Amino acid sequence: MPDLPRRELVVGDRHCLVHEDFDTFSRDAAAGHVALLKTTIDAGSASDLYPLYEALSEVFGDQAPQARAALRAPLQCATCLRTYPANLIHLRDMKRAGTPMAGTVSSADGARQVNRALLMTACLDCGGEVAVWVYNPHVLDR
């Protein structure tokens, strides 16, 4: 996996270290901290977030906002800091799996933009490959 261009990222007003292992990432999340997990734009999959949801469900309960927030964590380019919402990554996973997606976008322009994003293997803005999952318990109700 390529190196991170930054050892830490700023989320809101917090400086956060980027974790390269899931255990440290999930411990930070369970402690109520902003948690960042290194991945790549191409490899980032919504299924990466299911183990975090399960870990937080054990701590807070499966309907707790902290657990549900895990499934909404965005993927962020570590180079230019563009964020990709979890639902877009989920749609990309569905497309890669060959799941029919009729009716997911209502306009032709929206469909073109989503299709471009669904095919991405690097950041659409800067071409960067390294990304982080950003779990932020401080924005639970978004």
Q: Give per-residue pLDDT as tens, 11-50.
A: 777 788 899 999 999 999 999 999 999 999 999 998 999 9
Q: What CA–CA distance (Å, rounded) separates 114 from 101?
A: 11
pLDDT computed for residue 104 by the predictor = 61
Strand 8-11 to strand 14-19: parallel, antiparallel, or no bridges (unpaired)?
antiparallel
Looking at residue 120, what is its pLDDT?
Answer: 87
More confident residue, 102 or 93: 93
pLDDT confidence tier of residue 118, bands split at 50, 70 and 90: confident
Burial code (b: 16+ CB inside 10 Å, e: under 16) for 60-84 equals beeeeebbbbbeebbbbbbbebbeb
Length of the chain: 142
Closest CA to 122 of 27, 54, 39: 39
Q: Give the pairing type, strands 14-19 and 35-40.
A: parallel
Query: Average pLDDT of the chain?
Result: 85
- Give the mean model confidence (pLDDT) for residues 55-75: 91
Look at the pTM and tell me if it is higher than 0.75.
yes
